[in-house]
Amino acid sequence: MMLKILLPAEVLLRQEVKKIVAEAENGSFCLMPNHIDFVATLAPGLFTFEPLTGGQELLAMDVGTLVKKGSEVLVSTRNAVRAPDLGKLKQVVMEQYDKLDEREKIVRSAAAKLEASLIRRFVELK
């Protein structure tokens, strides 16, 4: 199967695989090359796949959509992080969340300033 993982700004992964395990809202599932065509909404969690060369690779994935049609599997998600093992994956995910928390604080601060400015101008109109 050809697995493609699509992020909003890039193609994260394009690789031939022999097995995929993903998490949907109602539990995890496995896809193999001869499975029927399939569509699923992915829940945040682990996404694993086995390359044709063997082994297992891990991704931490945000919500997304998986479409299997024939020998092609497309996954579209807002955010995904790849790491060689579970320990490193956890570390990378925590770093990503810290960055998101900082950005969120900056955005909330800017929104609060805009809101205060808007209220002040309404008061000045009286």
| pLDDT at residue number 83 | 72
| pLDDT at residue number 120 | 79
CATH code for the part of the protein at 2-83: 2.60.15.10
pLDDT digits (tens, 9 = 90+) for 56-65: 888 888 889 9
| pLDDT at residue number 118 | 79
Decide which of 102 and 14 is more confident.
14
Residue 26 token pair: 């109602």
Decide which of 99 and 47 is more confident.
47
Q: Has residue 102 got a pLDDT over 90?
A: no
**Residue 125 CB burial class (10 angstroms; 0-12, 13-18, ≥19):** exposed
C-alpha–C-alpha distance, residues 14 and 29, integer Å: 21
What are the sequence ranges of the domains in the chain? 2-83, 85-126
Q: Is the pTM of this model over 0.95?
A: no
